[in-house]
Structure 1
């Protein structure tokens, strides 16, 4: 093609893409993704969740610092009693920032909850998300 320059980028992992965004005006803009990750329902899943929780939280703290993790937390059974400290976890919900849907998916699929079999890959939902901007009161 005449007058066309094709630039090829060396592929980076989504973790690096999310953690080290370029300031260049041609860099893809990060977008937000809503993630709904249901826990598996098999016996012992809650024990597995708590066993790997420290690694999950360590990673989340890194994502908070670099702006990848915007919000999120535990989803629990409505019959649970959160005030009593007895909560039956049923999954996780979070809002992540990434350049593409594929990057967001790789971030989720590399989480210890996913790799250790806490989250159910068959029920995983990752969708683009635009938060509402509410007027200040």
Structure 2
């Protein structure tokens, strides 16, 4: 895998949809490794590899201001030279290696923004 030099003219954007598994205990597993996931994301954000990232929530999570927030997946906009680089980054994330994300349902597609991206 090549290095992801910030500002490289060969970088493309990729949308990533990474849903969590639905098995019992997945949410608790997510919470137990979340700090490691966030540290990895912070590093990738600082290098310009992750441009946008966030957790996906259940609709009930926003039903009322006091509703419990239940995370059920993640989404990203990555910048990388190839889709294979993004796949490798996703596969190496603690949410993948710990079995939080459902590997069979992860979607990675080239992405062209119609709006500004931070």
TM-score (norm 2): 0.89
Alpha-carbon separation, structure 1, partners of 2:105 and 2:50: 21
Match of residue 52 from structure 1: 33
Contact 2:60 2:67 in 1 (8 A): no
**TM-superposed deviation, 1:33:** 0.5
Structure 1 counterpart of 2:80, from 92, 98, 108 = 98
* Misfit runs of 4+, over 4 Å: none
Contact 2:57 2:69 in 1 (8 A): yes
Alpha-carbon separation, structure 2, partners of 1:85 and 1:71: 25
User: Is 1:74 aligned with 2:61?
Assistant: no
- Secondary structure, counterpart of 1:70 in structure 2: strand
Alpha-carbon separation, structure 1, partners of 2:56 and 2:7: 34
Structure 1 residues without counterparts, runs of 5 or longer:
1-12
Between structure 1 and structure 2, the one with the greater Rg is: 1
Alpha-carbon separation, structure 1, partners of 2:7 and 2:75: 27
For the aligned residue pairs, the C-alpha RMSD in angstroms reads 1.9
**TM-superposed deviation, 1:85:** 5.7
Structure 2 residues without counterparts, runs of 5 or longer:
none
- Secondary structure, counterpart of 1:130 in structure 2: coil
Greater RCO, CA 8 A, separation 6+: 2
TM-score (norm 1): 0.77
Aligned length: 115
